[in-house]
A and B are shown apart, each in its own frame.
Chain A
């Protein structure tokens, strides 16, 4: 293996810029998909969560909350008004502050806040509102208020925004575009144009050529995975997320090399992609429909990538919870490496 030859092959592809179909797929496709998802499901410029307040007391809390910028307020004069606003989907959460709240806070007594929550309000928005209210109360009781939200759920519980639900799919697509399509397109293209034979009679070995293609696709996939997570507000726990992206890119690179070695025609590659793509995105259906038996999702290798993306970015889970899923992914990486050397024998014939 010569690193300089591998770099030469990578450099050649990169030097083509947007004349390279591989680079177009790897870089542009994920951005287009993000734009489409954002347009359809909203989110990039997502509205602030809306909070309705019914302050029975003297309004000290309201003036405190007004300083905050994360949440939008509507002040109302009755409990009924809150219910109406939630029903009309104009408000995510409504909170009722009791008359004696100031005294309770100052006396360090527990405050119970009656809270109406729209079942369709996103988990994230609910969390933002709760944090905003608590921090406003802290201004009045610096010692730390004891607050208990007495929650009343209105309507059916949803929790995840559509965009949040789609996030694993979006990240899967960006990894797929770089790590799977990249090496596959490069290989099939080189076979169609016969340039592969020109490469094979140089001192560069098949292993070097496959490594170059895989590395290029894999690195682009990790970078685009990060970009897509950043654009869609899913970028948390960088180290764990990068590890997950690297593992899933490796797995996709292997699939891409297998497809690229097995198929000789770019049209056949894309025709099979449609069929094959369903298997890859199947776990997404189980995220959208949480009532479906979840064990079925675990049959698909991409589950061990999509599920952790969701758990890390939305639910803030860490290595302790999803570590085993990464191990399973590693197992698939080992397994799918096996056919590659055998398929590589066909190359150039």
Chain B
């Protein structure tokens, strides 16, 4: 028979156990949160009643690159501006490095780097002057400007004003400026938009180098090749809503159909045929073709992110 003491002991045990469980839960939650460099919950923004971002939620793990892929006007820049604290979300919340943007914005901003879509450099100043000025605002006393310019592959005359820079040079300087405070999280708004292949490559190299050093990166783009190449995960955004977030591989694997393309000679001309790799009758058809005609070329093709984007949103990325 259980005496009062026994009952009390059991009761206390259960209380302690519950307490332990609760703590455990929040402890685990905290660990998960700590792994997240950026998290957005239901963030929403409209410009004078025009809904630009509609209850969007996602997170970025530490050291991860999230590609934010969407056509013009999808809400990429608006999302980025909410993340970095330029716009205050009308609903939802953002936390970066475990801090809430509505409470500790300036502390957050000290640790992030932002590369804007507009090239908002001081045009009347030189590259070095621009970098030194921003470094001073971040309280960075000793900035190795030469190393930074080399890193973004920008060679300029010391006194040359930014106004005389080409688009690609300006963009590289924008990247260099993003890095003056050795940020832990980077927010890059279409950093390769409109650049020639060499400049674009220079910028992409910097992005990968920063990732290699452990930086977390939020990268908006409407270039699906870029998103595919650079991102650990991509998010598709259209009309202010995210339709899917996953790794490029998973997306292609799950949602794209892989095909086999065969070219063969037929009646003096060339004929091309597409066969689905998932089709059971595929090998039968190949046998048929190879026995009747001479095959000129045969290769498999993977679906592109673009195809999957169209599948999800019914809309093309560009145009």
Contact = CB atoms under 8 A, between A and B. Distances in A.
Q: Do A and B truly interact?
A: yes
Interface of A: 4-5, 8-9, 12, 15-16, 19-20, 193-195, 197-205, 348-349
Nearest to B124: A19
A19 B161 CA distance: 12
Contacts of B86: 197, 200-201, 348-349
Given A15-B129, A349-B87, A202 B121 contact: no
B137 A203 contact: yes
Interface of B: 84-87, 106, 109-110, 112, 114, 116, 118, 120-125, 129, 133-134, 136-139, 177, 181
A9 B137 CA distance: 8
Contact of B112 (A4, A198, A201): A201
Nearest to B133: A12
Q: Is the interface of B mostly helix, strand, loop or mixed?
A: loop
A195 B137 CA distance: 14
Contacts of A197: 86, 116, 118, 120
Given A195-B120, A195-B121, A195-B122, A201 B85 contact: yes
B119 to A, nearest CB: 8
Contacts of A9: 137
B106 to A, nearest CB: 5
A107 B209 CA distance: 102
A193 B112 CA distance: 22
5 closest A-B pairs by CB: A194-B120, A202-B137, A8-B136, A194-B118, A203-B110
Contact of B114 (A8, A201, A205): A201
A12 B132 CA distance: 10
Contacts of B110: 203
B120 A193 contact: yes
Contact of B109 (A4, A12, A19, A201): A201
Contacts of A19: 124
Given A194-B116, A203-B139, A12 B85 contact: no
A93 to B, nearest CB: 56
A203 B124 CA distance: 23
Nearest to A12: B133
A15 B132 CA distance: 13
A194 B116 CA distance: 10
Given A202-B137, A203-B110, A193 B123 contact: yes
A192 to B, nearest CB: 10
Contacts of B123: 193
B90 to A, nearest CB: 12
A95 B243 CA distance: 99
15 contacts: A4-B136, A4-B139, A5-B136, A8-B136, A9-B137, A20-B124, A193-B120, A194-B120, A195-B122, A198-B116, A202-B134, A203-B109, A203-B138, A348-B86, A349-B86
